[in-house]
Amino acid sequence: MADVAPVIDARALRFSYPGGGFRLSVDAFSAQPGETVALIGPSGCGKSTFLNLLAGVLRPDAGNVTLDGTPLSPLAEKARRRLRARAVGFVFQDFGLLDHLSARDNILHPFRLSGALRLTGDVRDRLEALAARLGIAALLDCRPQRLSYGERQRVAICRALLSRPRLVLADEPTGALDPATKRAIVDLLVEAARLEGTALVTVTHDHALLPAFDRVEDFAKLAVVQ
């Protein structure tokens, strides 16, 4: 990779939930623009917690996370949320779609809830283009209940990418899908990341998907969990 500042850079992270019982330590982690990283490890080993630390959803007890060149620790909650809304896209295992909204409204959801994002005509045009690229253009007026799991995840991916984030965090994005669809979804994510210059950090425990990524990190080696 060329000598470019990483999109995400975590140093000497220490985190534990209140009440103790879980401690996470990560010395160093980073991802470059357009780089696709797979984080592999068994369930319950702290991968999701790590993703939340990278996104600024959780505050580390010690250490620092720099997102798109901005250290997260000094930021107040509101600033962190706005940075997250602008710079991070999320894809969840359970899709994270709201049943009472259509696919279109689900995709636009962040634009309606965050002051960091403005819903303009350009955004709507980009939505149509992204949806076409993801093969869901005809499904935009459907509600999630009427979509297959694969279609739902495509909608979620479209939501994650619409704001042109610097970083996409995908937590087990294929967990609920059948094998054929898993591959398709991962390919979509990877292709979109590369095209948009977005860093992609994907948590998965499915080894069959690993060849699609630029880098694979074994979370057990990356982090110390107690």
Partner 1 sequence: MTGLVRLAALYLWRHAGWSALIMAVLAVLAAIPMVGARLAGLATEEMTARAATTPLIYGPAGGALELTLDALFFTGAPDPGLTMADYEDLASQELGTVIPVLRTHAAHDAPIVGVDVEYLEMRELVIAEGRPMVLMGEAVAGAAVARRLGLTPGAEVQSDARGAFDIAGSAPVRLQITGVLAPTGMADDEAILTTLRSAWLVAGLAHGHEDLAEADEAVVLSRDDGVVVANARLQEAIRVTDVNRGDFHFHGAPEDRPLGALLVFPHDARAAALLRGRVEDAGDARQLIRPTEVVRMLLDDVFRVRALFELATGVLGTAGIAALAGMVALTLRFRRPEFELARRIGADRGAVVALVGLELAILLAAGLVLAAGLTATVDVFGRDLYLWLLFGAT
Give the number of residues in contact with partner 1, rule: CB under 8 A: 31
Q: Answer yes or no whether residue 142 interacts with partner 1 by CB under 8 A.
A: no
Binding characters for partner 1, 153-192, by CB under 8 A (x = yes):
------x---------------------------------
Distance of CA 169 to the CA centre of its chain: 2
- State in angstroms the smallest separation of the CB of 115 from partner 1: 5
Structure tokens at 32: 């470059």
Q: Should residue 52 be labelled a site residue for partner 1 when binding is judged by CB under 8 A?
A: yes
Q: Does 194 bind partner 1 (CB under 8 A)?
A: no
The smaller minimum CB distance to partner 1, of residues 140 and 216, is found at 140
Rank residues 39 and 87 by Cβ distance to partner 1 and give the closer one.
87
- Tell me which residue of 53, 46, 48 sits closest to 67, measured CA to CA: 53
DSSP per-residue codes, 145-207 = GGS-HHHHHHHHHHHHHHT--SEEEEESTTTTS-HHHHHHHHHHHHHHHHHHT-EEEEEE--G
46 binds partner 1 (CB under 8 A): no
Contact predicate 172/205, CB 8 Å: yes
Backbone angles phi and psi of 33, in degrees to 5? -60, 135
Question: Interface with partner 1 by CB under 8 A: which residues?
Answer: 52, 55, 57, 77-78, 81-86, 88, 90, 92, 96, 98-101, 105, 108-116, 119, 159
